[in-house]
Chains A and B, each alone.
Chain A
Amino acid sequence: MYALVDGNNFYVSCERVFRPSLNGRAVVVLSNNDGCAIARSNEAKEMGIKMGAPWFQIRHLEQDAGLVSLSANFTLYGDMSDRMMTLSAGLGPTQEIYSIDESFVGLHGVRGDLVARAHKVRSRILQWAGIPTCIGIAPTKTLAKLANHISKSAERKPGSYPPALAQVCNFAALPAQDLDDVLGATEVGEVWGVGRRVAKQLQDGGIHTVLDLARMDPATIRRGWSVTLEKTVRELQGQPCIEMDDAPGPKQQIACTRSFGQPIYELGPLVEAVSEFAARAAEKLRKQSSLANELLVFMHTSPHRSGPQCSRSMVVPLRRPTDDTLALTQAAADSMRRMYVAGYSFVKAGVMLMDLQPGNVHQQELDLESLAATETAAVARDRSQLMSTMDAINVRYGKGTVHSVSNGRTGPERMLGMKQERKTPQYMSRLEDVPVARA
C-alpha cells in the first residue's frame, strides 16, 4: 500500500501561514520574474485563473477583483516543504519525496485503520506546519496519486465525488462498486503518466474515463501504445509496477535558464548571463558528483511581444567530461559570442548540461597529442580542489561570493537580476525578517 501526501495550493498555503490576512482572499504566486501564475488559492481558481496564466493577462484582477499576487519565495517554500515532508514520513516506514509538495509513503506493515491514521497525520501537518494537505491511499502509486486527486476534488468541489472521500481517500477501503463509480467519473487525462497527447489518443479510441482504461487488456495497450502505458494500466488494476524510489537517481540533464528582468540587446550582458547560468549548473553538477559531456546554450526573443523574433541555440561537445566551472563558463561564453546577433531584444537565455556521467568513471585516453598543444595549461590542471573550495565559500558566505569574472557584477545592481517586486520576507532564514507579533 502507498499513500501520496500532497500540499494543497502549496506555495499559497506557505504564504498564508505567515500572513493570515491572506486567508479567504484570492492569491496567486508568480514564477521567477513575475512571469506567470504557478500557484493559485481556491478563490483564485474560482475567478477562472488558469495554472500558468501570464501575469499581464490577469493583472487587471488586482484592481477589479482584489486579487493578491506574490513573487515566488522559494527559500520559504523549501523550509516549509522540509517540515511537511518530515511530518508526512510519520505515516509509514518508507518515503519518496516526489516534488516540493508531494511525497509517497510506503505503508507496508502498517496495521490498523489507515484512514484514521492518515487523518491524524494530516491534522498534525496542518497544526504544526500550517499547511493543508490531502492524502490518497491505494495498492499502487498510480492509484494513490489518483486517490489524492479525488480527495482534493471532493474537498474543493462538493458534489464531484462522495464527500466522505474529501481530504483522505483510501481506494482499498472502498467497496468494488463504489471504486468503479469513482473511476468512471474521472477523466482518463487525470491519470499519472497519461499526458495530454496520449489522453487525446485514448479518447479518440473511445477510452474516456479511468475505468475504461483500467478495463483494457495490458497486452493490447502495449501493442497500441507503449510499455509505459501498459505499466500504468497494470497499476490501475492494482498490480504494483512502479517501485518506491527512496533515493532519486542523479539527474540526466541539468538546466539553468531564466527570463530577464528586462530585455537585453547587447552581447556583454548576455555573456554575463550565460556565464552565471553555467556556473550555477556546474555547482549542481558537482553536488550530484557527475560530469557533463555536452553543453547547450540558447537564447530567444519574446513570442508574446511584437517585433523581430530570433531564437538560437548551440550545442558544444566538451573536450573531456568535466564539472569545472571555469571550463563550462568558458564554453558557454564562447558559444554565446558565436551565436549572438545584434538587433533583437532577447528576453530569455539558458544553459543546459547534457550527456551526464558519474564522476568516478574516467575514460582512459591515448596520448596522441600533448595536453599543452590542445588546451592551455590552466585548463588541463586538476581544479577539483579549487571547485570544492569555491562551493564551500559560496555556501558559507552566500551565493556568488566568489565567481568567475565573466559573470560580471553580482548583487542587486545586476541588470538581469530577477524581477521580484512582490516577494514576501525571508521569514525563517533572516532574523531581521521574522514575522512580527503585536503586543
Chain B
Amino acid sequence: MTSIFGIDTPQPLAATPLVLCMPEGHVRAGFPSPADDFAVNRLDLTQVLVKHPQATYLLRVAGNSMREAGIDDGDTLVVDKAVKPRHGHVVVAVVDGEFTVKYLHQRAGSMRLKAANPTFPDIVPKEGQTIEVWGVVSSCIKRFLV
C-alpha cells in the first residue's frame, strides 16, 4: 500500500482506476415504502423443519411399508435425535444393524414397531433383545418432478 502522504517520486495520475461505491440501499425519490415498518425476515425452511440443529439428520426412505403414513419410497426424512420417542411417533430404529422407519408402538411395557401398510408384519423384539430407537421422524420431504 502506498500512502497518500510522503510520495517522493512522481506518480502517474490515476494509476489505479477510481471506483465509485454505490451507497447501500435504495435512494428513494418518492414516498418511503409503507411496508418498511412491517419488515420481518422471510420464513426460513430450515427453521421451520429443524428444531434441534445439533441433533437433526436427513435420511432417505427405501420401501413401501409406511405408505399409509404418507411416507413413500424415495422421500427424505428429517430425523430429530433430541426428541424422546413416545408411543405413536414415527421413528427410525436400528433392526439387525440397519435403519428402518416405522411407527413406535409402546403399550403395557411392551414395545414393537408397526408398519403403515397391512402387508408388513410388526417387528417385535425377540426374547432378551431390545430395539434401539435411533431418532424420531419430525417431517417427511416429498419432492415432485418440476
CA distance A69 to B62 in the complex (A): 27
* The one of B57, B76, B100, B132 that contacts A439, using a Cβ cutoff of 8 Å: B100
- The reply on A284 being an interface residue by CB < 8 A is no
Q: Give the shortest distance, in Å, between B23 (CB) and chain A (any CB).
A: 22
- The reply on A428 being an interface residue by CB < 8 A is yes
Interface residues of A in 413-439 (CB under 8 A from B): 427-428, 431, 434-439
Q: Which segment, of A36-44, A126-134, A158-166, A393-401, faces chain B?
A: A126-134
Contact between chains at B100 and A438 (CB < 8 Å): yes
Contact between chains at B59 and A434 (CB < 8 Å): yes
Contact between chains at A128 and B62 (CB < 8 Å): no
Given A20-B99, A21-B97, A434-B76, is A439 in contact with B61 using a C-beta cutoff of 8 Å? yes
Given A129-B54, A439-B63, is A20 in contact with B73 using a C-beta cutoff of 8 Å? no
CA distance A362 to B1 in the complex (A): 8
Contact between chains at A435 and B82 (CB < 8 Å): no
**Tally of chain A residues near chain B (CB < 8 A):** 22
CA distance A289 to B61 in the complex (A): 45
Given A20-B97, A362-B1, A439-B101, is A128 in contact with B81 using a C-beta cutoff of 8 Å? yes
CA distance A297 to B66 in the complex (A): 58
Contact between chains at A128 and B101 (CB < 8 Å): no
- The reply on B104 being an interface residue by CB < 8 A is no
- The reply on A83 being an interface residue by CB < 8 A is yes
CA distance A253 to B55 in the complex (A): 35
CA distance A172 to B99 in the complex (A): 42
Contact between chains at A86 and B54 (CB < 8 Å): yes
Contact between chains at A83 and B54 (CB < 8 Å): yes
* The one of B59, B65, B71, B81 that contacts A435, using a Cβ cutoff of 8 Å: B59
Q: Give the chain A neighbours of B59 by CB distance below 8 A.
A: 434-437
Chain A residue at smallest Cβ distance from B67: A439
Q: Give the chain A neighbours of B115 by CB distance below 8 A.
A: 439
Q: Give the chain B neighbours of A130 by CB distance below 8 A.
A: 81
Contact between chains at A439 and B97 (CB < 8 Å): no
Contact between chains at A435 and B55 (CB < 8 Å): no
Contact between chains at A127 and B76 (CB < 8 Å): no
**Residue from A128, A427, A431 with most neighbouring chain B CB atoms (10 Å):** A128
Given A20-B97, A127-B82, A362-B1, is A439 in contact with B55 using a C-beta cutoff of 8 Å? no
Per-position binary interface string of chain B over residues 8-27, scored 1 when its CB falls under 8 Å from any chain A CB and 0 otherwise: 01000000000000000000
Contact between chains at B62 and A438 (CB < 8 Å): yes
Contact between chains at A87 and B99 (CB < 8 Å): no
Q: Give the chain B neighbours of A437 by CB distance below 8 A.
A: 59-62, 77, 92, 99-101
Chain A residue at smallest Cβ distance from B102: A439
- The reply on B94 being an interface residue by CB < 8 A is yes
- The reply on B124 being an interface residue by CB < 8 A is no
Q: Give the chain B neighbours of A83 by CB distance below 8 A.
A: 54-55
Per-position binary interface string of chain A over residues 92-132, scored 1 when its CB falls under 8 Å from any chain B CB and 0 otherwise: 00000000000000000000000000000000000111100
Contact between chains at A127 and B81 (CB < 8 Å): yes
**Residue from B54, B77, B92, B102 with most neighbouring chain A CB atoms (10 Å):** B54
Contact between chains at B66 and A439 (CB < 8 Å): yes
- The reply on B64 being an interface residue by CB < 8 A is yes
- The reply on B127 being an interface residue by CB < 8 A is no
Q: Give the shortest distance, in Å, between B109 (CB) and chain A (any CB).
A: 22
Q: Give the shortest distance, in Å, between A195 (CB) and chain B (any CB).
A: 35
Q: Give the chain B neighbours of A20 by CB distance below 8 A.
A: 94, 97-99, 132, 134
Q: Give the chain A neighbours of B81 by CB distance below 8 A.
A: 127-130
Q: Give the shortest distance, in Å, between B7 (CB) and chain A (any CB).
A: 12
Q: Give the chain A neighbours of B9 by CB distance below 8 A.
A: 367
Q: Give the chain B neighbours of A439 by CB distance below 8 A.
A: 61-66, 71, 73, 100-102, 115
Chain B residue at smallest Cβ distance from A125: B54
**Residue from B64, B76, B94, B98 with most neighbouring chain A CB atoms (10 Å):** B98
Chain B residue at smallest Cβ distance from A25: B97
- The reply on B52 being an interface residue by CB < 8 A is yes
Q: Give the chain A neighbours of B77 by CB distance below 8 A.
A: 437
**Residue from A86, A129, A435, A438 with most neighbouring chain B CB atoms (10 Å):** A438
Listed in ascending order, the chain B residues whose CB lies under 8 Å from chain A are 1, 9, 52, 54-55, 57-66, 71, 73, 76-77, 81-82, 92, 94, 96-102, 115, 132, 134
Listed in ascending order, the chain A residues whose CB lies under 8 Å from chain B are 19-21, 23, 83, 86-87, 127-130, 362, 367, 427-428, 431, 434-439
| Sample of 11 further A-B pairs with CB below 8 A, known A428-B58, A435-B59, A439-B64 | A20-B97, A20-B132, A20-B134, A83-B55, A130-B81, A427-B57, A436-B99, A437-B100, A437-B101, A439-B71, A439-B100
CB-based closest 6 A-B pairs: A21-B97, A128-B55, A439-B63, A437-B99, A83-B54, A20-B94
Subset of 24 A-B contacts with CB under 8 Å: A19-B97, A20-B97, A20-B98, A20-B132, A21-B96, A83-B55, A86-B54, A127-B82, A128-B54, A128-B81, A128-B82, A129-B54, A129-B55, A130-B81, A431-B76, A434-B76, A435-B57, A435-B60, A436-B59, A436-B60, A436-B61, A437-B92, A437-B99, A439-B102
